[in-house]
Amino acid sequence: SAVISQKPSRDICQRGTSLTIQCQVDSQVTMMFWYRQQPGQSLTLIATANQGSEATYESGFVIDKFPISRPNLTFSTLTVSNMSPEDSSIYLCSVLRTGHTEAFFGQGTRLTVV
Amino acid sequence: GQQLNQSPQSMFIQEGEDVSMNCTSSSIFNTWLWYKQDPGEGPVLLIALYKAGELTSNGRLTAQFGITRKDSFLNISASIPSDVGIYFCAGQYTNAGKSTFGDGTTLTVKP
């Protein structure tokens, strides 16, 4: 499996501010995704991070709130903008290796907005 | 969109007992995945299923891809305390890698 590093692992942020989460993979992967897991809930796909182009967002998620970058095959960032307490969640990076259909996850970023 | 119903929501069992959990969907999937999530960690892939009817084992874990392609189950035999965690099923319809997740089954194992 790919080694996926997410930074930061956790953070406490003031409402109205923004946080950028980084995801670094140790090998080239075809697909990178960002998921949100609200407290006690399941995982919900935010968007697919596309290399060198705009991310593809799922229903209910918009670029202005969750801008995503993927400058190369092994790195992506997710920004949570203008945060409110409702954004308190675990944010997870997920990757698909070439020739595989099963996704692997990073350890997640636990975000608390106060 | 596609929805997964995972049951049971939670289970409290004695060490050594067998466990069974399942997922059903309103629509078909081409791939079923089972993950385990420990507190403070991301989900870890346990078993991947690619064909209807497929039965796959990983140690004490066994999972099956339902014939209708709308359901899957996961069995854990002879449970041990480290089996504690949240188990998620996930389905994929296309090869695009996007997964739809069930709500999870929280497993507690009493020594």
> Could you identify the residue written with the tokens 């299923």?
B49
How buried is residue A26: exposed, middle or buried, by Cβ count under 10 Å (0-12/13-18/19+)?
A: exposed
- Residue A1 pLDDT > 70: no
Stretch A2-19: mean pLDDT: 95
Question: CB-based contact (8 Å) between A84 and chain B?
Answer: no
Task: Report DSSP letters for A29-81, one per residue.
Answer: EEEEEEEEE-TT--EEEEEEEPTTS--EEPTT--TTTS-EEEEETTEEEEEE-
Strand partners, A88: none
Q: Contacts of residue A41 in chain B, CB cutoff 8 Å?
A: 103
Per-residue pLDDT reduced to its tens digit, B40-94: 899 999 999 999 999 999 999 999 999 999 999 999 999 999 999 999 999 998 7
The set of residues, in sequence order, having a beta carbon less than 8 Å from that of A80 and lying 6+ positions away, is: A18, A19, A21, A65, A66, A87, A91, A111
Contact B97 A110 (CB under 8 A): no
Mutation site for B-interface testing, chosen from A101, A107, A111 by largest number of B Cβ within 10 Å: A101
What is the bridge-based pairing of β-strands B10-14 and B105-110?
A: parallel
Which DSSP state fits B95? T
Per-residue pLDDT reduced to its tens digit, A46-59: 999 999 889 999 99
Average model confidence (pLDDT) across chain A = 94
Distance CA A9, CA B107 (A): 25
pLDDT at A99: 78
pLDDT band (50, 70, 90) for residue B95: low
Question: CB-based contact (8 Å) between A21 and chain B?
Answer: no
pLDDT at B59: 97
Helix (H) or strand (E) holding B21: strand B19-25
